[in-house]
Amino acid sequence: MPRPRFTLPLGSPLQLLLLACSFALSAYAGVRLLDGDWFEIALWFVGAALIHDLLLLPLYATADRLLVRATGPRRTWVAYVRVPTTLSLLLLLVWFPLITGQVTRRYDAVTGLSADRFLEHWLLVTAVLFAGSAGLFVVRLRRKSAAPHGR
């Protein structure tokens, strides 16, 4: 028997309060963000949305479809590739200028730290993510094969 989930009734005072707080926080962040050069920031947001929707989304949707087709009846295996790939690509997206070495001088000047090792660290984190996913996959396969077949 499934356990009942905790849900707020639509339009409850707590839900409205949480929504108002999130709008207030978003407005504060927007005002602080746009305090500087608002045109370049707005241009960056529009460009990022367009690049995501027109280039990245079709690319990773196609890659995911190919992965699902390649696994055939073993579709549950796909998650063991999806999760580390998504996390690795998200880290690459966030740290791309430092990983590719495009802003190393500015980073060095502002932080006083070297930016030379970002590529190595990203590759290491990616390797750990895939190794952890593979380890979890093997553990779950063994657990499933050791389970009694009467279940």
Give the tens place of pLDDT for each residue, 46-80: 988 999 899 989 998 998 899 888 888 777 788 89
CA dihedral sign, ordered 140, 146, 149, 151:
negative
Please state, as a whole number, how many other Cβ atoms lie within 10 Å of the Cβ of residue 70.
11
The pair of three-digit structure tokens given for residue 39, joined into one six-digit string: 């045109």
Distance between CA atoms of 22 and 26, rounded to whole angstroms? 6
More confidently predicted of 24 and 38: 24
| For residue 84, pLDDT beyond 90 | yes
User: Which of 36-50, 74-88, 137-151 has maximum average pLDDT?
Assistant: 74-88
pLDDT for res 8: 63
Q: Are residues 47 and 95 in the same domain?
A: no
Domain assignment of residue 63, yes or no: yes
Q: Are residues 126 and 102 in the same domain?
A: yes
- Residues sharing a CB contact under 8 Å with residue 68, sequence separation 6 or more, in sequence order: 75, 78
Domain assignment of residue 109, yes or no: yes
**pTM for the predicted model, two decimal places:** 0.64
pLDDT for res 34: 76
Domain assignment of residue 20, yes or no: no
Q: Minimal CA–CA distance to 90: which of 64, 52, 50, 117?
A: 52
| For residue 38, pLDDT beyond 90 | no
Distances (CA, A) of 91 to 5, 125, 133: 33, 9, 17
Domain assignment of residue 30, yes or no: no
**Maximum Cα–Cα distance for the chain, whole Å?**
66
Residues 98/104, Cβ–Cβ less than 8 Å: yes
Q: What domain count does the chain have?
A: 2
Domain assignment of residue 115, yes or no: yes
Show the CA angle centred on residue 119, arms to residues 52 and 117, nearest 5°: 140
Distance between CA atoms of 148 and 46, rounded to whole angstroms? 54
pLDDT for res 1: 60
Distance between CA atoms of 117 and 60, rounded to whole angstroms? 27
pLDDT for res 35: 78
Domain that holds residue 116: 75-143
Q: Are residues 83 and 120 in the same domain?
A: yes
Element (H, E) at 149: none
Query: pLDDT tens for residues 85-132?
Result: 999 999 998 899 899 988 888 888 888 888 889 999 999 999 999 999
Residue 37, φ and ψ in degrees, nearest 5:
-85, 90
| For residue 150, pLDDT beyond 70 | no
